[in-house]
Amino acid sequence: MNDLGGINLKVSIALVIAWITTALVLWKGVKIIGRVALFTSTTPYIIIAIMFIQSWTLEGHTKGLDFYLLRPDFSVVFKWETWKSAVTQNCYSLGIGFGGLLSLASFNKKNHNCFRDAMLVSFADGFMSIFGGVAVFNVLGFMATRLNLRINDVVQSGTGLAFIAYPEAISHMPVPWLWALLFFVMLWLLGVDSQFGLVEVICTSLRDQFPSLKKYEGLLVFTTCFVSFLVGIIMTTKAGIFYFTVFDEYSASLGLIVLLLLEITLVVFVYGCANYIDDIRMMFGQPKNLLGKLFGPSGWYIKIVWLTVSPIFATAILIVTIMSTFTKQMTYGKDDRKYSYPTYAYTIGWVLSLLPLVAIPILIWFKVHKFKKEGKSMRELFRLQPKWPSYKLHSKNRAHSVLPGWLANIIGFNDNRSSLYMDSKF
């Protein structure tokens, strides 16, 4: 990390192309994202299906399948690090906590069936994770057989799997250039498609917070992409992989889990689960049968998960994440090429972890200052705001109770449960 070693030209060109592509697509607006996503989101499924079928024809594929699915090591289930990794992977895979789902969903019509979308995407994502995992480990089993190694010696994680182990396995396959082309096209499409959504989060948030920016939409998109490109330049140096690993380890771990817990707390315990259920029923109507009452968008299953399962799991994972962040020892490579990170790398990591949380006190100050300027009381910060779509639904009872949403839910003050609310931006 101390010696950047100059720019890697190939990687820097790839970075430029990625950000130009993102800027051009977002410049055209959300509608073009939807059209582009029809290609960028579905093509990887076709490619992984082709690779899945081909992987079953390889010698030794059963060795990889046993390691991955049929005879796994269940002892890792009892390690907290496994659950932390699983939560982080789910957040990445489904886009939970990053704001992309909220930003893009805000462009939907009010009665759009987002519950159906969430269920379909969750099941499809889980299925494709297993489906794609079988394809990957079949190929790694083939590689272990060809090189006469144990499967443990072939398997790597993260970038090692995507850019070292799997490409090396492909090089031993028939027509290697074809499989390499399909594999890296798939990675490119998955990466750039995710980038569209994450950058749109920033642009949408800034436009919503500062409405005056809406007339400079193109400039906002290009500025956001350019700043992000500048941040990424350090990763195009010959020491870039070390900086990339620090970003990868820290940027979406502690901060992400804290934000998830705050999201659950604000929606369920401050705004109030009962109020939120009312909003959902305003969108989708009342449950029409027993199945809907149990597992529908406003059913008991959803309530139980929001009120108990999600907060408990999020709190437990937060504790584990804090502990692992304090005890983390970062290395790269292995054996004679093992690199131990310097002390300042951990400082960079902590800054990356805590940086997203800085927005919270800043926006608190911003809202307090704004409300004082408008002559509103601080109590109004915790009330339903007129600009919210649910204002009319709850406004008739909003002045009659002084109980916060979570307490109203617990003691059953359902008639007056619209008492105290957090402003969404607060």
Task: Give the other-Cβ count within 10 Å of 188's Cβ.
Answer: 17
For residue 140, the one-letter residue type is: L
190 in a labelled binding site: yes
Per the DSSP assignment, residues forming a β-bridge with 420 are 404
DSSP 145-171: HHHT--HHHH---THHIIIIIHHHHHH
106 is in an annotated binding site: no
DSSP H/E element including 279: helix 273-284
Find the distance separating the first CA and the last CA of the chain, reported in whole Å.
38
The secondary structure of 187-240 as a DSSP string is HHHHHHHHHHHHHHHHHHHHHHH-GGGGGGHHHHHHHHHHHHHHHHGGGGBTTH
193 in a known ligand binding site: yes
Neighbours of 295 (CB within 10 A): 13
Separation of alpha carbons 153 and 169, rounded Å: 13
Is the Cβ–Cβ distance between 322 and 254 less than 8 Å? Answer: yes
CA-atom Rg of the chain in angstroms: 24
Give SS3 for 383. Answer: coil
Which residue in 37, 99, 123, 140 sits closest to 263, CA to CA? 99
Distance of alpha carbon 337 from alpha carbon 325, whole angstroms: 24
Alpha carbon of 361 to those of 202, 252, 258, 269, 366: distances in Å?
18, 19, 14, 20, 8
Q: What is the dihedral of CA 298, 301, 304, 306, to 10 degrees?
A: -60
Please enumerate, by residue number, every residue annotated as part of a binding site for Na(+): 93, 190, 193-194
Please enumerate, by residue number, every residue annotated as part of a binding site: 93, 190, 193-194
